[in-house]
Structure formats: C-alpha cells, structure tokens
Chain A
C-alpha cells in the first residue's frame, strides 16, 4: 500500500518540508478568513476512488535549455541525458551524422543563428523562438527517451518535472502539452530546480548558483522556498564563445598570411571547454591594492603562481578539419576564457550592465539583498551547480572571490559614500578599533584575573562579557544532545556545499513520495491549459488538509484547484 501512503501525505508546500510541521506552520501562518472546509464526505464513506488503486509511479525529468534528463525515482543518476544538437534535428532517414565523410567536415554556423543556437531547445526571449519547433524538438527527445531508455510498459506514469523558476508560460504550456498529449501522463508535478538542488545537497536553505547555458541564476532558498533571485548572462554560452575566440586566435597565429582564417565550430569549442577547460582557483594577484581589514583571509595571502618552465601545454586534436590538425595551446591560456567570461576582471564594475554582472558580484548582490537572518544561513550554504560548474577550479574560485569581496566591503549596501566617505571611513576605523580594544581587554582580563590583588578598572558595561547563565549552558547542552547537530546551524561564513544536481533532488523527492505544490492534472490541463490555474501563487494547504480528512485522501488528483506556484 505504498501508493496510498503517499496519497495521505499532506500536500506539502513546495517540497520536503517536514510533513506535519509544514502543515502546522501553514495553519498558523495562513492569513485567511475562516471558511467552511470543503468536505469530502462521500469519499469518507464510499469506496475508495480509483485513485487508490492506480499505483503511483513517477518519471523524473529535468528540462534545461540544452539538455533534458530523464530517469526513475530512487536512482542516483538519470537514465539518459539527451542533447538538442543539430544531429538530433535531422530528417528521418538522414543518416549523414554517421557518414565517415561528414565527421571530417567542420560544421558551419548558419547565417541567421547565434552562437550555439542550433544546440538549444529554447531561449528565454520567446520573440525569437518558434514554439512549434520547440515542441517538435522536445517531442522527438522525449520519444527517444521513452522508447530507448525508459522501456516502459504501457501504463501511464506521472511525471515529476524539474523546471527553472520563471520559465515563460508559453514555453511551459508547450512542454506540458507534449507530455500530456503525446505521452499520456496522468499528472505532472512541477518543482523548481534550485529547490531540488537544495534537496540534493541535504539542505533546507541555500544560495543556489546555477551556472547554466544562457544565464547564471542565483537563487536564495530559505526553508525550501525561493526568496530571492538574481541573474546574469555570464554563463556557458559566453564562455564557449570566448573559448572559440581563444582557439581561433591560436589557430590564426600560426597560419601564414593569406590563407583562410580558421573558425572553430561550436562542437569543437564545446569539446575543448568540457575536456580541458579550467579556472584558476585563486584570484589574480593585483589584489594587493585592495583594502583589507586587520585579519586578512588566508586565501588572499598573495603569492605569484610559480612560473613553470617549460610552460605546460596541451595538445588538442581537431579531427573535424581537413586535414586533421593539432593545436598546442599553453595550459594557462585555457583558463582565460573562464576568467574573462565569468569574472570579467578587466572591466570596471560601473561599465557593466545589471544583466552582465560578474559571478562573484552577482552572488554578493544576491546575498546583500537577502534579509539578514536568511543571509546568515545562505552564505554558508552556497551551492554551485549547472553544467559550467563542472569546470575544475571554478567553484573554489567563486567562493574565494566572494570571500574577498565580503571582506572588502562587508555587508554594506552603500558602495560609495561620495563626499561623506571620509566620515564613513572614520566610523569604520572606530568600529574596528573598538573591536580590537575589546579583544585586547578580554586578553587583559585573563591576565588580570590571574593576579587578583590588583583591582581592575571597571569596564564599560557594553564591553563586559555577559554573565554566564548556568541554565543557558544547560539548555545548550540539551540542545546539543537532543536537537540537531551543531553543523545544522552553521552560518555567517562563506562555505560551499556540493549538490548532486536538480535531477538527483527530483529523484529523491519522488522516491519519498512527497507532493509538490504545483501538480497539474491531465484533464484539467487539456481543458483549460495553463489558464486553468488559480491566480494565487500559494495555494493554501489548509482547506485541502481538511478536505482530505485524516487519512482519507480525496485521491491525489482531486484538488479543488491547482496553481502554478512560483511559475504563476
């Protein structure tokens, strides 16, 4: 009866909040006027509906702009990761990708297409997107997934779909149409990918930095809820374009005058990037000029990278060009695209637009705009995910850049005090001095307490240590033994946490049979489309709880209304 277990589970808000506490909290916090609960008396006494009999089996899908991942709950990795490349868009019966001749031909970008556009499923600017084409591509990929990798029996499966928050509605509706229409899913549960990444990291609150293809999104997640979001176009697309520029420059350096210039294809740049691209783990050394508070972070203790002799190089084979060539590139230069595309160290911040902030500034700003207590939780739970985050060294780099930024600026939203900056400096210095003084005095006190003869000068009450309350210590002890371990409330320092990714999170959620807030029934969707969703962002769980009654599900599919949650 595992299936009915899931049914009676309360419809949790968003994702795994503790089952009961979630309801209790909602009970307390829902600012709704009392209303008559919708009672499902008939289902109480009638025979359980068909919903009880169908076994709930899920498929877990994660949709990105370049890949779709699919698999089954409880598995640690997706069964398939399908790209949307040009080879996937050929006509049926067009087998040229296996033609040995074509592998030696360098693919050319089409005139009217952006860098890597033919590898994308969609782009967020929908004015340029043919939704019909998106539908075609997605349908074909899903057909491949179903027929080649899932190998299902004809029984329809529910789908847990991980989507980035703020997916445009037309796009969502296209995707849902395909899943409902062509693949007969009885219901689809939507969950937002930052939250699933949080789940896959074992956390409840986190700052999820998703370095994707078209853009990097930084999402503050607090208690499984998105609280803030910032985005920047410094992401995979820019990175691979920069890598292509680097390779082109390297190629054309050696080529003699007059011969045609080489333009590496998207596939080649991508391959180089994923295979040997890397990122310097430490910020550049011209940071000495920066002002640091007294305790400098160990990361920034400057030392020049020891110059290695001979300079290490990487030889990259290019089999797609005719004749196949090799290119030897200094290893250090392979880190340059990451540097320029994601961190933009050479551009002063004031020349950058809001949508192209370097990653560390983006994260810093996101943290800065979070409420203080959420910031405390989030800053020590920074999850860096997304395809680009696999570049070796990138995570370390982001974290150390961020740490430097925090050290330099503190949590002061004002960047320039203008004419008052002198005064501000003064205040800062004073604060620091006070802090130092305090510390010194604390040291002094120890020494003073050692010789009790000399009565110490009375400290100002603000500087005195608060009295130790025995009951407080006792409580702390109790909490330590009974409550959550101390690592659960770590906060206030920059700390990175690894995640298994949104797909694994979705797999966990589906395995634990937890219900999301956005669950779309096939019938309802086919009737009204996305317009059928209720307008409220958060459907209150309270009336549902009552209507469900204790342990008497109204069947999973009988919610009175459905909502689009974050996507509304």
Chain B
C-alpha cells in the first residue's frame, strides 16, 4: 500500500449495519459465511477499501460510543473560501456565481498548477496600464496566449474572461444573447412571411445561421432553453384565472384564491384545445442538424497535428464543458472553492467536529477524534538482536522483503488513550485470507492495558518501581527462548506489547510452481502484501456521567462506574512477501 509498512487500518462497520435490514436483496450473492458474527473480516474484499480507515481519519461519537467514519457522519458546510486567495465567499454568491472563485484564481488547464497574471508589455513601447496581461502557468509555461486571449486589466480576470472566447472573439452575455436571438428570429419570420407571400417553398432556415461558425455549447443550450420557455408560455392562456389552465407567470396563490369562487362552474366551461407544443425548428431554437463536415475537420486536424493537440481525459473533465477535443479549446480553470465543514453523527446528530469559522485558522472548536478514544495498535518487527535505546539498529528490518516460510516475530504494541485500564482480547484467523496464505499466531491474545494516567504519575511511580516487570522474559538476554505463549512481552504506563508470530506464505502457491511464469499465476497488484485482520475487543469500566453530561440529573451518581465493551476489526499491514 502507499502507506509505509507496517500500518494499521481500522474498520468502521457502518456499512455492515446498514445492510442487515434487507438481506434478501443480496440473496443472489454467494453468502460469504453462514453468520454475520462468524464471518472474519477480509481485507482483500473490494468492499473493504471503503470501510478501512487509518485511525487519524476517524471520529468518535461519545454518545453512540462508536467510531464514526466519513460515511457515517453528516457534513454541514460552515463557510466557503477560495483555497488560492483565501477569500471567504458568502453563500449567496455561491448560489449565483457557482462553485468557483470569481477573482483572479485560475489553474492551468494542462497541468492544474495555479496560474499567475503576467504582463506582455512591450518594453520599447510601454502602455499606460502596463498591459496587455495574460494568465500564464509557471510550471508548464502554458499561457492564455496559446488560445488567443489577452486581458486589458490585471484585475477582474474572471469578468474579462467570461467575455472573451478563445481566439479573442467576444462572448455575448446571456442578455445580449437573448436580444440577438430575438433580432434574428424577427428577421427570420419576416423572411418567412415574404417567402409565403411570394409563394416560394424554400425552407427558411437552411440558408442562414452559418455566418459565425457552429454555435457553441452554451449557445445551443440557451437557445433550447429559450425555445422551451416560449413554447410553454404560449400554452399559457390569456385569462390568468381560468381554472383549468395552468398559469406560469402569475402568483399561483392569487389564482388559487380566485379559483375558490369559480371552481364550481369551471367544469362546464368550454375549453379551446391549444396546439401541442412543437419541436424546435431552427438553430435559433436549438435544433442542430448533424453536419458531416465537422467530423471531417476533426479527423483532418488529428491527422495533421497528432497526439499533442488532443486532450487527455483528466484535462477534459476539468474543463467547464467536457466535450471538447483539442488544446485550442482549453480554457483556464477557475479554482474550485473549498469549504469548512462541521460533522455530525448520522445516528444521534451530535456534533463530532466543528472547525473555527475563520478561514485562516486551522483550529477546531469541537473535535472528537477516535485517536483519543480508541486503543491504538501498531506493529513493528521484533529484531533478534538486542537494541539498546539510543543506538540505531545495525540492520533495519526490511518490511518489503518478508521471507516466505520463515517464522518471524512481530511486536504488536497497544496503547490506551483512555483514563481507565482496558482488558483487551485479540483474535485473528489462523491463516490470512487471499491468495498467499500466511499463518498468524498471537502468542498472548488476552491481556490488560493500563490507564492513561497523568504522565507525572508515571514518572513518579516509575522512579519508584520499574514498570518493566520481566515476568520471566526480558527484552535482553536470549529472545528465542524467552518468547513464550500466553505471556505479554512488555508493558508500560498505558501500553502493552505482545508478540505475533507470522509465517509468511509462499508467493507462487506452495513453492513448486516457482519456475514457470504462468500469467494465470501472476499476482495482482498488492496480492503479495501481508495483511493480518485482527479483531479487537475491549472491556473497561468508565464513569457513567461521561456520556450523560448535560443531562444534569446524574449528579447523584457521579462516580458511578459502568462496564463498557467495544469491538472492531483492524487490519495490520505487515509487509510485502519477497518473491522466491
């Protein structure tokens, strides 16, 4: 995995619990196990990718006493800001102007790095404004010059950019577009009338609309939209209070009140059958007849300009209109706004995290992290040579090169963030799931982890009596003999470590078919990674009032203890098994 070995993932079981209500739907699937409880967690299952999280990404709901992952929280946006200029955008602007920064923040459409506004001023002939200006990418040196766009001012790039099309053509604003459409339509009808009068049957639409190339995507859309609006408007009757006609333009509450008085007689009223809505008939109404010449032009262009003039799919999808094909159609991408979001538990709606609303602040008002509530598991190799603290080990353990078939010992280190001692039970399937089966044994599956008391307590007490209680084994001496089943390895103030013995499996089956490289036998990505699913069950006693704070009536029982239990799956990534 991309995380360095060894790592630990925690599984949030929210998807499990959500599925149980309707198991019948999944009847077609082969049942993975007889019982939900019997089933062991399989980190190879593609679904596991969606339920495993590093501990740092998890929140904890104190009221539900459960881990909360990204899918089992509700997010609510607190404020919006541009990550590039850190300008806070009010929500009304989000509604009107969309999800992108409307200032000068643009990203390069080729390589996505932020673009800068540069001057193209001719030093021999300086202009008064210092312009013309361009947007240029400092990383890949793409600039708006390549699409023929220059700006007059260095501020308000967005408003300038919306008015300039590629190649310097002006883009009409929606209003201008509407006006232009009206004008053309009038022309068209006039022409049609003339045609009708003169009796010629020429189609009035074929010879026009070609004056400025094919209409853009936006043009077509606005034409269509205007056409449908006009069609619906023409269905609207002249009498706005007619009970059976639906009125799109007047306040409907008003017409509703009027209808109270007319509804009894309405049934008898004769209605004129209006003409059905027609389809679009011209380019101005959004009808685009397929034109083979565009296809031919595109083919010619690919043939001539080759690979480099075309766009990759990521570049296309980043564009506002993702149907473009060539690099001359690229537009600078205004940077996407970011949000600060509060998170609530999906089941009890309590706030789990809430950042400070100031954009530049990274602090949180409320932050309930799983880190502070859940036992932390970590793994490291138990080096066979004695390591004195302070001196680096001469030979670092190579996690990317586990030896098949050789028993290797790892130290599973559990540290407790809670202020109560925890009784831990660990369980793991004896062989790991997946193609390469490795044998795993936890030498001591049941033990206690001390409370996270004050560090000073620890310091004081440890000075009195050394925490290390070498039961029968010591970290020094001969480790081979001292690893003993049923005994913990080491223990500290709020941590305990136990030994896991792993016998990594053989990469090519059982080691016989190593010589031939059968494509069927080849491993998929990450199949040689040794991951151990470990089921962790915690038992501890905690103060009752911890989760009842705010109720106020628990004063009498303050100090009352309550037994709690938590259980979850974790996946420990040990390393990569070496090819033999």
Once the chains bind, are B307 and A20 in contact (CB under 8 Å)? no
Once the chains bind, are B306 and A181 in contact (CB under 8 Å)? no
Once the chains bind, are B256 and A551 in contact (CB under 8 Å)? yes
Pick from A226-234, A251-259, A268-276, A427-435 the stretch touching chain B.
Answer: A268-276
Once the chains bind, are B295 and A393 in contact (CB under 8 Å)? yes
- Partner of B266 from A8, A495, A550 at Cβ < 8 Å: A550
A238-276 residues with Cβ-Cβ distance < 8 A to B are: 270-271, 274-276
Q: Does A170 contact B (CB under 8 A)?
A: yes
A82 to B273, CA, bound (A): 45
- Partner of A16 from B15, B50, B228, B320 at Cβ < 8 Å: B228
Q: Which residue of B lies closest to A383 (CB)?
A: B290
- Partner of A133 from B1, B47, B74, B303 at Cβ < 8 Å: B47
CB neighbours (8 Å) of B3 from chain A are 93-94
Once the chains bind, are A24 and B273 in contact (CB under 8 Å)? yes
Q: Does A413 contact B (CB under 8 A)?
A: no
Once the chains bind, are B205 and A487 in contact (CB under 8 Å)? yes
A341 to B235, CA, bound (A): 46
CB neighbours (8 Å) of B15 from chain A are 132, 135-136
Once the chains bind, are B295 and A488 in contact (CB under 8 Å)? no
- Partner of B71 from A182, A315, A396, A484 at Cβ < 8 Å: A182
B248-277 residues with Cβ-Cβ distance < 8 A to A are: 248, 251-253, 255-256, 259-260, 262-263, 266, 271, 273-277
Once the chains bind, are B25 and A20 in contact (CB under 8 Å)? no
Once the chains bind, are B299 and A393 in contact (CB under 8 Å)? yes
CB neighbours (8 Å) of A345 from chain B are none
- Partner of B1 from A16, A96, A110, A485 at Cβ < 8 Å: A96
Q: Does B180 contact A (CB under 8 A)?
A: no
Q: Does A108 contact B (CB under 8 A)?
A: yes
A396 to B291, CA, bound (A): 8
Once the chains bind, are A9 and B246 in contact (CB under 8 Å)? yes
Q: Does A99 contact B (CB under 8 A)?
A: yes
Q: Does A225 contact B (CB under 8 A)?
A: no
Once the chains bind, are A512 and B313 in contact (CB under 8 Å)? no
CB neighbours (8 Å) of B74 from chain A are 184
Q: Which residue of B lies closest to A95 (CB)?
A: B2
Known pairs A92-B70, A147-B75; A508 contacts B273 (CB<8 A): no
Q: Does B514 contact A (CB under 8 A)?
A: no
Once the chains bind, are B290 and A498 in contact (CB under 8 Å)? yes
CB distance from B263 to the nearest CB of A (A): 6
Once the chains bind, are A4 and B306 in contact (CB under 8 Å)? no
Q: Which residue of A lies closest to B56 (CB)?
A: A93
Once the chains bind, are B53 and A484 in contact (CB under 8 Å)? no
Pick from B278-286, B392-400, B419-427 the stretch touching chain A.
Answer: B278-286
A1-47 residues with Cβ-Cβ distance < 8 A to B are: 1, 4-5, 7-10, 16-21, 24, 44-45
A20 to B246, CA, bound (A): 7
Q: Does B437 contact A (CB under 8 A)?
A: no
Pick from B157-165, B334-342, B410-418 the stretch touching chain A.
Answer: B334-342
Known pairs A81-B317, A498-B289; A140 contacts B279 (CB<8 A): no
Once the chains bind, are B299 and A392 in contact (CB under 8 Å)? yes
A552 to B256, CA, bound (A): 6
Once the chains bind, are A484 and B243 in contact (CB under 8 Å)? no
CB neighbours (8 Å) of A74 from chain B are 225
- Partner of B53 from A52, A91, A488 at Cβ < 8 Å: A91
Once the chains bind, are A281 and B296 in contact (CB under 8 Å)? yes
* Per-residue interface assignment for chain A, residues 123 to 141, with 1 indicating a CB less than 8 Å from any chain B CB and 0 otherwise: 0001100111101110110
Once the chains bind, are A276 and B310 in contact (CB under 8 Å)? yes
Q: Does A148 contact B (CB under 8 A)?
A: yes
Once the chains bind, are A485 and B204 in contact (CB under 8 Å)? yes
What size tier do the contact residues of chain B reach?
35 or more
CB neighbours (8 Å) of A276 from chain B are 302, 306-307, 310
CB neighbours (8 Å) of A486 from chain B are 203, 281
Interface centre among B46, B193, B217, B260 (most CB of A within 10 A): B46
CB distance from A493 to the nearest CB of B (A): 11
B43-61 residues with Cβ-Cβ distance < 8 A to A are: 46-50, 52-54, 56-57
Once the chains bind, are A19 and B49 in contact (CB under 8 Å)? no
B515-539 residues with Cβ-Cβ distance < 8 A to A are: 520, 522, 524-525
CB distance from B14 to the nearest CB of A (A): 10
Known pairs A151-B80, A393-B299; A91 contacts B49 (CB<8 A): yes
A485 to B193, CA, bound (A): 11
A155-203 residues with Cβ-Cβ distance < 8 A to B are: 170, 173, 181-182, 184, 200-203
CB distance from B555 to the nearest CB of A (A): 35
Per CB-CB distance, the 4 closest pairs between chain A and chain B, nearest first, are A202-B280, A496-B290, A96-B2, A550-B243
What 18 new A-B contacts, CB under 8 Å, besides A126-B28, A507-B221? A4-B251, A20-B245, A77-B323, A79-B99, A91-B1, A92-B54, A93-B57, A108-B522, A137-B50, A146-B75, A203-B280, A331-B303, A382-B290, A384-B290, A390-B323, A512-B232, A551-B246, A552-B256
The chain A residues found within 8 Å of chain B, CB to CB, are 1, 4-5, 7-10, 16-21, 24, 44-45, 48, 52, 74, 76-81, 83, 89-96, 99, 107-108, 110-111, 126-127, 130-133, 135-137, 139-140, 143, 146-154, 170, 173, 181-182, 184, 200-205, 270-271, 274-276, 278, 281, 312, 314-317, 331, 382, 384, 390, 392-396, 399, 477, 480-481, 483-488, 495-498, 500-501, 504, 507-508, 511-512, 529, 549-552
The chain B residues found within 8 Å of chain A, CB to CB, are 1-3, 9, 15, 18-19, 22, 25-26, 28-29, 46-50, 52-54, 56-57, 70-71, 74-77, 80, 91, 94, 98-99, 192-193, 196, 203-205, 217-218, 220-222, 224-225, 227-229, 231-232, 235, 243-248, 251-253, 255-256, 259-260, 262-263, 266, 271, 273-282, 285-290, 292, 295-296, 298-299, 302-303, 306-307, 310-313, 316-317, 320-323, 325, 336-337, 339, 341, 520, 522, 524-525
Q: List 12 A-B contacts (CB under 8 A).
A: A21-B275, A77-B321, A80-B317, A94-B3, A96-B2, A139-B71, A274-B313, A484-B275, A487-B287, A488-B279, A496-B289, A512-B225
